[in-house]
Amino acid sequence: MVIYEATSSNFKKYGRIVKNVDFAPVIEALGKIAIPEDGVAYEPTVDSLEEASAKVDLTRLFGGELKLETGYCAGHNTLLNAVEYHRASEINVAATDAILLLGSLQDVTDDFKYDTSKIEAFHIRKGTAVELYATTLHYAPCGIENDGFMVGIILPYGTNFALEEDHIDCLADSDDEDKLLTAKNKWLIAHPDAPGEKGHFPGLIGANIEVNVTKKQMEEI
């Protein structure tokens, strides 16, 4: 699979590099969080990261004065497994190098299927922050070689929080987009062969894309 740099023109339909914010306090705070030795961990909000985000005034510079949450996604991963989207942009702050697997919401069919051959891969270098547009399909990053990854995740406050119980009761019988809703402001389409995604709508068609790339290969990009 071709892996592009986030600086490439291919990335522009999915997002942009954020240049008007100094994320150093966020990256420093992320560096103090342990990367899981196995699997992937996600936390939508962490006190130390919220404090770091406040120092760089993200609510004003990115949120349009809406309240934001700052959490992280970290671990070891080589598979696509699923794609998700939100009704808002998301900022990813790379505290390590990482690979993002991205697609376009416009390519999801009317019956909520998505062909994984349309996915593109991008290298996000350590210290880089990118905005992923609301129309960008994404999921957990992948690491490089055997290294784990650590990426800060900034979203409107409440995103990925648990759904209300009365809403959950309605999801099983839904024939519309509601059946993709797995958390607040999170619509997810899973691969039928993905470990850990059982029970989620299995709308990904094609291979469960795997990214195995060495540091040497990344240096040659």
CATH number of the CATH domain containing 191: 2.60.120.10
Buried/exposed code over 196-215 (b: 16+ C-beta within 10 A; e: otherwise): ebeebbbbbeeebbebebee
User: pLDDT of 32-62, one tens digit each?
Assistant: 999 999 999 999 999 999 999 988 888 888 8
User: pLDDT of 169-213, one tens digit each?
Assistant: 666 667 789 999 999 999 999 999 998 888 899 999 999 999 988
- Residue 199 lies in domain: 3-219
The continuous run of DSSP H or E covering 129 comes out as strand 129-132
How many whole angstroms separate alpha carbon 56 and alpha carbon 60?
Answer: 9
Task: Look at residues 22, 65, 74 and name the one whose alpha carbon lies nearest to residue 156.
Answer: 65
Question: What dihedral do alpha carbons 127, 131, 136, 138 form, nearest 10°?
Answer: 30
How many whole angstroms separate alpha carbon 108 and alpha carbon 73?
Answer: 25
CB 101 within 8 A of CB 80: yes
CB 213 within 8 A of CB 123: no
Count of C-beta atoms within a 10 Å radius of residue 160: 19
Count of the separate structural domains present in the chain: 1
pTM of the entire structure? 0.94
State yes or no: pLDDT of 106 exceeds 90.
yes
User: pLDDT of 112-163, one tens digit each?
Assistant: 999 999 999 999 999 999 999 999 999 999 999 878 999 999 999 999 999 9
Instruction: Tell me which amino acid residue 91 is.
Output: I
Averaged pLDDT of the chain = 93
